[in-house]
Amino acid sequence: MKTIQAKSQKTTPRSVQNPSTKYIFLNSQKIKSFWILLFIFAGMFTQGSLSDAGELYDAKNLQVKNSTKISLEQFIQRIPKGAIVVLGEQHNLASIQQGQLDLLNALRKTGHKINVGLEFLKYTDQPQLDAFQKGQLSEEEFKKSSWGQADFKFYRSQILFPNPATGEKVFAINSPTNLPLAIKEKGLAKLSVDEKALLPPNFELGGANYKERFVERMSGHVKDPEAMNRYFETQSVWDDTMAWKTCQGADSSDNTMVIVVGQFHVEYGDGLIHRIQARCGNKHPIISVYEYLFYNDEIVDFTDFIPSTKYGPLSDYLMIVRQD
Protein backbone atom coordinates (compact mmCIF):
# COMPACT_ATOMS: atom_id res chain seq x y z
CA MET A 1 0.00 0.00 0.00
CA LYS A 2 1.41 3.35 -0.97
CA THR A 3 1.65 5.93 1.82
CA ILE A 4 1.04 9.56 0.87
CA GLN A 5 2.99 12.21 2.70
CA ALA A 6 2.11 15.88 2.72
CA LYS A 7 1.18 18.75 5.01
CA SER A 8 -2.39 19.98 5.10
CA GLN A 9 -3.08 23.58 4.07
CA LYS A 10 -6.66 24.47 4.98
CA THR A 11 -7.39 27.93 3.72
CA THR A 12 -10.10 30.55 3.74
CA PRO A 13 -12.33 30.71 0.68
CA ARG A 14 -10.80 32.31 -2.40
CA SER A 15 -7.21 31.55 -1.38
CA VAL A 16 -4.72 31.13 -4.19
CA GLN A 17 -1.96 28.60 -4.60
CA ASN A 18 -0.32 26.89 -7.55
CA PRO A 19 -1.15 23.16 -7.78
CA SER A 20 0.13 20.58 -10.22
CA THR A 21 -1.91 17.85 -11.86
CA LYS A 22 -1.18 15.05 -9.39
CA TYR A 23 -4.15 14.25 -7.19
CA ILE A 24 -5.66 11.78 -4.78
CA PHE A 25 -9.29 11.01 -3.89
CA LEU A 26 -10.49 9.86 -0.50
CA ASN A 27 -13.95 8.58 0.41
CA SER A 28 -15.15 9.27 3.96
CA GLN A 29 -18.70 7.96 3.62
CA LYS A 30 -20.45 5.42 1.46
CA ILE A 31 -23.17 6.78 -0.71
CA LYS A 32 -26.42 6.87 1.25
CA SER A 33 -29.64 8.01 -0.38
CA PHE A 34 -27.39 9.29 -3.18
CA TRP A 35 -26.06 12.19 -1.06
CA ILE A 36 -22.36 12.42 -1.79
CA LEU A 37 -19.70 14.90 -0.78
CA LEU A 38 -16.93 15.12 -3.31
CA PHE A 39 -13.91 17.36 -2.98
CA ILE A 40 -11.91 18.11 -6.08
CA PHE A 41 -8.32 19.25 -6.36
CA ALA A 42 -6.68 19.89 -9.72
CA GLY A 43 -6.05 17.57 -12.64
CA MET A 44 -8.64 14.84 -12.19
CA PHE A 45 -8.59 13.24 -15.63
CA THR A 46 -6.62 13.35 -18.81
CA GLN A 47 -8.48 13.72 -22.08
CA GLY A 48 -7.84 10.11 -23.05
CA SER A 49 -8.43 7.29 -20.60
CA LEU A 50 -10.28 7.27 -17.32
CA SER A 51 -7.52 5.00 -16.00
CA ASP A 52 -5.00 7.85 -16.14
CA ALA A 53 -6.31 9.55 -13.01
CA GLY A 54 -4.50 9.77 -9.67
CA GLU A 55 -5.14 7.71 -6.59
CA LEU A 56 -8.60 7.27 -5.09
CA TYR A 57 -9.14 6.14 -1.50
CA ASP A 58 -12.01 4.84 0.57
CA ALA A 59 -11.81 7.19 3.57
CA LYS A 60 -14.85 6.31 5.63
CA ASN A 61 -12.47 4.95 8.24
CA LEU A 62 -9.55 7.04 7.08
CA GLN A 63 -6.23 6.09 8.63
CA VAL A 64 -3.15 8.24 9.02
CA LYS A 65 -1.53 5.56 6.86
CA ASN A 66 -2.77 2.68 4.70
CA SER A 67 -6.07 3.84 3.25
CA THR A 68 -8.08 1.68 0.86
CA LYS A 69 -7.98 2.67 -2.80
CA ILE A 70 -10.93 2.78 -5.14
CA SER A 71 -10.60 3.07 -8.89
CA LEU A 72 -11.58 6.14 -10.85
CA GLU A 73 -14.02 3.98 -12.79
CA GLN A 74 -15.74 3.06 -9.52
CA PHE A 75 -15.85 6.71 -8.57
CA ILE A 76 -17.40 7.77 -11.87
CA GLN A 77 -19.97 4.99 -11.57
CA ARG A 78 -21.12 6.58 -8.30
CA ILE A 79 -22.13 9.78 -10.07
CA PRO A 80 -25.66 9.13 -11.33
CA LYS A 81 -26.95 11.09 -14.28
CA GLY A 82 -28.91 14.07 -13.04
CA ALA A 83 -26.68 14.50 -10.00
CA ILE A 84 -25.57 17.85 -8.61
CA VAL A 85 -21.78 18.00 -8.51
CA VAL A 86 -20.48 20.86 -6.35
CA LEU A 87 -16.81 21.68 -6.82
CA GLY A 88 -15.36 23.44 -3.77
CA GLU A 89 -12.32 25.03 -5.31
CA GLN A 90 -9.46 27.37 -4.59
CA HIS A 91 -10.01 30.17 -7.05
CA ASN A 92 -7.97 31.46 -9.98
CA LEU A 93 -5.71 28.45 -10.55
CA ALA A 94 -4.96 27.03 -13.98
CA SER A 95 -4.40 23.44 -12.84
CA ILE A 96 -7.68 23.40 -10.93
CA GLN A 97 -9.39 24.75 -14.02
CA GLN A 98 -7.88 21.89 -16.02
CA GLY A 99 -9.01 19.40 -13.41
CA GLN A 100 -12.55 20.71 -13.64
CA LEU A 101 -12.49 20.47 -17.42
CA ASP A 102 -11.12 16.93 -17.18
CA LEU A 103 -14.00 16.05 -14.86
CA LEU A 104 -16.53 17.62 -17.21
CA ASN A 105 -15.08 15.74 -20.17
CA ALA A 106 -15.02 12.45 -18.26
CA LEU A 107 -18.67 12.86 -17.31
CA ARG A 108 -19.61 13.64 -20.89
CA LYS A 109 -17.57 10.66 -22.09
CA THR A 110 -19.64 8.38 -19.86
CA GLY A 111 -22.93 9.69 -21.22
CA HIS A 112 -23.77 12.65 -19.01
CA LYS A 113 -25.26 15.82 -20.43
CA ILE A 114 -23.80 18.75 -18.50
CA ASN A 115 -25.14 21.96 -17.03
CA VAL A 116 -22.67 24.28 -15.27
CA GLY A 117 -23.25 26.90 -12.57
CA LEU A 118 -20.69 29.35 -11.17
CA GLU A 119 -20.51 31.27 -7.91
CA PHE A 120 -19.09 34.25 -9.80
CA LEU A 121 -22.24 34.74 -11.86
CA LYS A 122 -25.20 36.78 -10.54
CA TYR A 123 -28.61 35.28 -11.25
CA THR A 124 -29.90 38.65 -12.43
CA ASP A 125 -27.37 38.40 -15.29
CA GLN A 126 -28.78 35.15 -16.69
CA PRO A 127 -29.95 36.82 -19.95
CA GLN A 128 -26.43 38.14 -20.65
CA LEU A 129 -24.99 34.73 -19.78
CA ASP A 130 -27.37 32.99 -22.17
CA ALA A 131 -26.41 35.41 -24.93
CA PHE A 132 -22.69 34.86 -24.31
CA GLN A 133 -23.07 31.08 -24.28
CA LYS A 134 -24.91 31.23 -27.61
CA GLY A 135 -22.33 33.53 -29.19
CA GLN A 136 -24.73 36.48 -29.30
CA LEU A 137 -22.63 38.60 -26.91
CA SER A 138 -18.88 39.11 -27.21
CA GLU A 139 -16.56 38.16 -24.38
CA GLU A 140 -15.64 41.76 -23.70
CA GLU A 141 -19.30 42.80 -23.62
CA PHE A 142 -20.11 39.93 -21.27
CA LYS A 143 -17.20 40.68 -18.93
CA LYS A 144 -18.13 44.35 -18.81
CA SER A 145 -21.79 43.68 -18.02
CA SER A 146 -21.66 40.58 -15.86
CA TRP A 147 -18.24 39.52 -14.60
CA GLY A 148 -16.64 40.42 -11.26
CA GLN A 149 -13.13 40.37 -9.85
CA ALA A 150 -12.11 36.75 -10.50
CA ASP A 151 -9.71 36.23 -13.39
CA PHE A 152 -11.97 35.30 -16.29
CA LYS A 153 -9.34 33.19 -18.03
CA PHE A 154 -9.67 30.52 -15.33
CA TYR A 155 -13.43 30.14 -15.91
CA ARG A 156 -14.00 30.88 -19.59
CA SER A 157 -13.82 27.22 -20.63
CA GLN A 158 -16.19 26.05 -17.90
CA ILE A 159 -18.74 28.68 -18.92
CA LEU A 160 -18.50 27.65 -22.54
CA PHE A 161 -18.45 23.90 -21.87
CA PRO A 162 -22.22 23.29 -22.04
CA ASN A 163 -23.49 22.93 -25.58
CA PRO A 164 -26.84 24.71 -26.06
CA ALA A 165 -27.45 22.70 -29.25
CA THR A 166 -27.70 19.52 -27.16
CA GLY A 167 -29.83 21.02 -24.39
CA GLU A 168 -26.96 21.94 -22.07
CA LYS A 169 -26.83 25.26 -20.23
CA VAL A 170 -24.70 27.41 -17.93
CA PHE A 171 -26.46 28.96 -14.93
CA ALA A 172 -25.79 32.14 -12.97
CA ILE A 173 -26.47 31.15 -9.35
CA ASN A 174 -25.27 33.86 -6.96
CA SER A 175 -26.83 37.00 -5.51
CA PRO A 176 -26.68 40.33 -7.35
CA THR A 177 -23.74 42.34 -6.02
CA ASN A 178 -25.77 45.08 -4.34
CA LEU A 179 -27.49 42.61 -1.98
CA PRO A 180 -24.46 41.24 -0.09
CA LEU A 181 -22.98 44.74 0.03
CA ALA A 182 -26.17 46.02 1.66
CA ILE A 183 -26.23 43.15 4.18
CA LYS A 184 -22.60 43.70 5.16
CA GLU A 185 -23.34 47.37 5.72
CA LYS A 186 -26.66 47.27 7.61
CA GLY A 187 -27.75 43.67 8.12
CA LEU A 188 -30.74 41.68 6.93
CA ALA A 189 -33.23 43.38 9.21
CA LYS A 190 -32.61 46.79 7.66
CA LEU A 191 -32.82 45.81 4.01
CA SER A 192 -35.19 47.81 1.86
CA VAL A 193 -38.25 46.23 0.28
CA ASP A 194 -36.48 46.10 -3.08
CA GLU A 195 -33.40 44.51 -1.52
CA LYS A 196 -35.48 41.90 0.31
CA ALA A 197 -37.10 40.99 -3.00
CA LEU A 198 -33.71 39.74 -4.17
CA LEU A 199 -33.46 37.16 -1.36
CA PRO A 200 -34.22 33.52 -2.16
CA PRO A 201 -37.72 32.41 -1.18
CA ASN A 202 -37.92 30.88 2.30
CA PHE A 203 -34.42 32.07 3.09
CA GLU A 204 -32.71 30.53 6.12
CA LEU A 205 -29.49 31.39 7.93
CA GLY A 206 -26.77 28.79 8.26
CA GLY A 207 -26.81 26.60 11.38
CA ALA A 208 -24.94 26.97 14.65
CA ASN A 209 -22.03 24.71 13.71
CA TYR A 210 -21.59 26.51 10.42
CA LYS A 211 -21.55 29.88 12.15
CA GLU A 212 -19.07 28.60 14.72
CA ARG A 213 -16.66 27.53 12.00
CA PHE A 214 -17.28 30.73 10.05
CA VAL A 215 -16.46 32.92 13.05
CA GLU A 216 -13.32 30.90 13.73
CA ARG A 217 -12.22 31.25 10.10
CA MET A 218 -12.97 34.97 9.91
CA SER A 219 -11.83 36.04 13.39
CA GLY A 220 -8.53 37.34 12.08
CA HIS A 221 -10.33 39.64 9.64
CA VAL A 222 -13.47 40.78 11.47
CA LYS A 223 -13.22 41.88 15.11
CA ASP A 224 -16.59 43.52 15.82
CA PRO A 225 -19.29 40.96 16.83
CA GLU A 226 -22.10 42.86 15.12
CA ALA A 227 -20.08 43.08 11.93
CA MET A 228 -19.35 39.34 12.20
CA ASN A 229 -23.09 38.66 12.39
CA ARG A 230 -23.67 40.73 9.25
CA TYR A 231 -20.88 38.88 7.44
CA PHE A 232 -22.42 35.55 8.42
CA GLU A 233 -25.78 36.75 7.16
CA THR A 234 -24.07 37.57 3.87
CA GLN A 235 -22.43 34.14 3.70
CA SER A 236 -25.79 32.50 4.38
CA VAL A 237 -27.47 34.52 1.64
CA TRP A 238 -24.79 33.43 -0.81
CA ASP A 239 -25.29 29.78 0.18
CA ASP A 240 -29.07 29.82 0.07
CA THR A 241 -29.23 31.81 -3.16
CA MET A 242 -26.84 29.42 -4.87
CA ALA A 243 -28.83 26.45 -3.53
CA TRP A 244 -32.08 27.99 -4.81
CA LYS A 245 -30.71 28.56 -8.30
CA THR A 246 -28.85 25.24 -8.35
CA CYS A 247 -32.06 23.34 -7.59
CA GLN A 248 -33.92 25.32 -10.23
CA GLY A 249 -31.25 24.41 -12.76
CA ALA A 250 -31.23 20.76 -11.73
CA ASP A 251 -35.04 20.60 -11.96
CA SER A 252 -35.01 22.11 -15.46
CA SER A 253 -33.67 18.95 -17.15
CA ASP A 254 -32.19 15.50 -16.56
CA ASN A 255 -28.69 16.88 -17.09
CA THR A 256 -25.94 16.50 -14.51
CA MET A 257 -25.38 19.88 -12.81
CA VAL A 258 -21.77 20.86 -12.06
CA ILE A 259 -21.36 23.85 -9.71
CA VAL A 260 -18.12 25.75 -9.04
CA VAL A 261 -17.86 27.54 -5.67
CA GLY A 262 -15.27 28.29 -2.99
CA GLN A 263 -14.14 25.63 -0.55
CA PHE A 264 -15.86 26.81 2.62
CA HIS A 265 -19.31 26.57 1.05
CA VAL A 266 -19.07 22.76 1.02
CA GLU A 267 -17.11 21.79 4.16
CA TYR A 268 -18.70 19.25 6.54
CA GLY A 269 -21.97 19.25 4.59
CA ASP A 270 -22.78 22.74 5.83
CA GLY A 271 -23.48 25.94 3.92
CA LEU A 272 -24.37 25.35 0.32
CA ILE A 273 -24.63 21.56 0.65
CA HIS A 274 -27.07 21.79 3.54
CA ARG A 275 -29.24 24.28 1.69
CA ILE A 276 -29.24 22.23 -1.53
CA GLN A 277 -30.38 19.23 0.47
CA ALA A 278 -33.13 21.30 2.08
CA ARG A 279 -34.31 22.80 -1.20
CA CYS A 280 -33.91 19.82 -3.54
CA GLY A 281 -34.88 17.09 -1.12
CA ASN A 282 -34.22 13.62 -2.55
CA LYS A 283 -34.81 14.61 -6.16
CA HIS A 284 -31.11 14.86 -7.07
CA PRO A 285 -28.01 13.02 -5.90
CA ILE A 286 -25.46 15.54 -4.58
CA ILE A 287 -21.72 15.41 -5.19
CA SER A 288 -19.86 18.19 -3.46
CA VAL A 289 -16.26 18.77 -4.46
CA TYR A 290 -13.53 20.08 -2.16
CA GLU A 291 -9.90 20.77 -3.06
CA TYR A 292 -6.66 20.68 -1.11
CA LEU A 293 -3.24 21.64 -2.45
CA PHE A 294 0.14 20.38 -1.30
CA TYR A 295 3.75 20.97 -2.24
CA ASN A 296 5.65 17.84 -3.26
CA ASP A 297 8.24 18.28 -0.49
CA GLU A 298 5.67 18.65 2.31
CA ILE A 299 4.96 15.87 4.79
CA VAL A 300 1.34 14.87 5.42
CA ASP A 301 -0.25 12.11 7.47
CA PHE A 302 -3.95 12.72 6.65
CA THR A 303 -4.69 13.74 10.23
CA ASP A 304 -6.62 16.81 9.10
CA PHE A 305 -8.88 14.67 6.92
CA ILE A 306 -10.09 12.32 9.64
CA PRO A 307 -13.76 13.02 10.45
CA SER A 308 -14.32 15.58 13.17
CA THR A 309 -15.87 14.31 16.38
CA LYS A 310 -18.05 17.44 16.39
CA TYR A 311 -18.79 18.20 12.74
CA GLY A 312 -18.55 14.75 11.19
CA PRO A 313 -16.68 13.84 7.99
CA LEU A 314 -15.11 16.62 5.99
CA SER A 315 -16.20 14.83 2.83
CA ASP A 316 -17.14 11.53 1.30
CA TYR A 317 -14.42 11.88 -1.32
CA LEU A 318 -11.25 13.88 -1.10
CA MET A 319 -8.97 14.66 -4.02
CA ILE A 320 -5.47 15.99 -3.35
CA VAL A 321 -3.44 18.03 -5.81
CA ARG A 322 0.34 18.16 -5.69
CA GLN A 323 2.35 21.18 -6.81
CA ASP A 324 5.52 20.59 -8.80
Which range (12-16, 250-254, 292-296) has the least confidence?
12-16
Question: What is the CATH number that goes with domain 24-323?
Answer: 3.40.50.11550
User: What is the overall mean pLDDT for the chain?
Assistant: 80
pLDDT value at 48 more than 80: no
Instruction: Give the length of the chain.
Output: 324
What pLDDT does residue 71 have?
A: 67
Please report the sign of the dihedral spanned by the C-alpha atoms of residue 309, residue 91, residue 200, residue 283: negative
pLDDT of residue 105: 87
Alpha-carbon distance of 103 to 316, in angstroms, equals 17
Its pTM stands at 0.82
CA 111 to chain CA mean position, Å? 22
Residue 287 has pLDDT above 90, yes or no: no
What are phi and psi for residue 307, nearest 5 degrees?
A: -55, 140
Banded pLDDT at 308 (limits 50, 70, 90): confident
Parse the chain into domains and list their residue ranges.
24-323
